[in-house]
Amino acid sequence: MTYVANPKRYDKMEYRRCGKSGLKLPSVSLGLWHNFGHIDNFENGRNILRLAFDNGITHFDLANNYGPPPGSAEENFGKIFKDDFKSYRDELIISSKAGWGMWPGPYGDWGSKKYLVASLDQSLKRMGLDYVDIFYHHRPDPETPLEETMTALDLIVRQGKALHVGISSYQSEEAAKAIKILKQLGTPCLIHQPKYSMFVRWVEDANQPNGMSLLDVLEKEGVGCIPFSPLAQGLLTDKYLNGIPKDSRAASHRGNGAIEEDAITDENINKVKKLNELAVKRDQTLAQMALAWILKDPRVTSVLIGVSKPEQVTDSIKCIDNYKFSSDELKQINEILK
């Protein structure tokens, strides 16, 4: 059936300015790392994307290697985009990335100009797009000069293939260097995409070679922040409290960095149980509280969620209803996470 977007889609979602740029992102964005590959149910993916957009989620995050198999999330997104979202293109922020291994040989991995330019051309073809809104370097490359990688990002913007560029998983000091080079080139870094959740808090740590946490660098430079895996791939929800459900990511052995059963340890689950009790007291699900805990920080532009079912969109998105924490609640959370 032809998709017509919900006319009330902008009524509830809030939009935050991305650093000091002109672009606003929804407080909750949707990523297609898992659940959108050829091994997944195509119609389920379509339903998730429709429901997300119907609720004001205007930002969909992809990468060349999402699937599995690599490339298939972009291909499936391209089909759904053509059927459902083409007429809404100007209401959407679509991102892609390159930086992890994508094709054999020396030009299909890391951060060379050759790889980044060719990879984005492939991504645009798979998605059937003329341009992406944000193109990221997916991870730092210790061997390619940073100047070359950043020059490639600048070129891509000048070619009109991306409107903005970002970096992902760069540590505080290397992020500051990349941001500086991009500024000199005249293509400001829009956004950084780091892993950040109650369980993974390195972005807060000021004990860095440059004496600044990543979050402080981003604030100082006016760069946005979109944390990925904010639910620690599902660990920070109530789903693993009583074992490992068959339909969970941990049980599915998807590879490509997906959480495995060995991450569901007693130590982790003990913490999750205590966090869940606190969430109940706040009248939230644990997923909502874990996302709200990230959104409490104004340096965060958007929280980048993944979902395997439409109901998870409905549940998680309610995190925007309450992301205020009392100092006592924050203390309790820190105690639990110790």
**Site of interaction with ligand NDP (CB under 6 A):** 31-35, 61, 138, 168-169, 193, 228-234, 237, 239, 248-249, 287, 304-308, 312, 315-316
Q: CA nearest 50: which of 22, 81, 21, 11?
A: 81
**Which one, 146 or 287, has the nearer CB to ligand NDP?**
287
Min separation Cβ 70 and ligand NDP, Å? 14
Min separation Cβ 218 and ligand NDP, Å? 15
**Which one, 302 or 328, has the nearer CB to ligand NDP?**
302
**Which one, 56 or 234, has the nearer CB to ligand NDP?**
234
Spatial distance between the Cα atoms of 104 and 91, rounded to a whole number of angstroms: 36
**Which one, 112 or 288, has the nearer CB to ligand NDP?**
288
Buried-state track 140-158, b at ≥16 Cβ within 10 A, e below 16: bbeebebeebbbbbbbbbe
φ and ψ of 182, to 5 deg: -60, -40
β-bridge mates for residue 304, sequence order: 29, 228
**Which one, 33 or 110, has the nearer CB to ligand NDP?**
33
Sign of CA dihedral 237, 241, 245, 250: positive
Min separation Cβ 264 and ligand NDP, Å? 11
Min separation Cβ 179 and ligand NDP, Å? 17
CA 286-288-294 angle, 5° bins: 105
Min separation Cβ 164 and ligand NDP, Å? 15
Min separation Cβ 65 and ligand NDP, Å? 10
**Which one, 97 or 161, has the nearer CB to ligand NDP?**
97
**Which one, 73 or 333, has the nearer CB to ligand NDP?**
73
Token reading at 129: 């797009």
Q: CA nearest 34: which of 253, 227, 235?
A: 253
Min separation Cβ 234 and ligand NDP, Å? 3
Close Cβ partners of 95 (under 8 Å, ≥ 6 residues apart): 59, 60, 61, 62, 132, 133, 134, 135, 136, 166
Question: What 3-state class would DSSP assign to 283?
Answer: coil
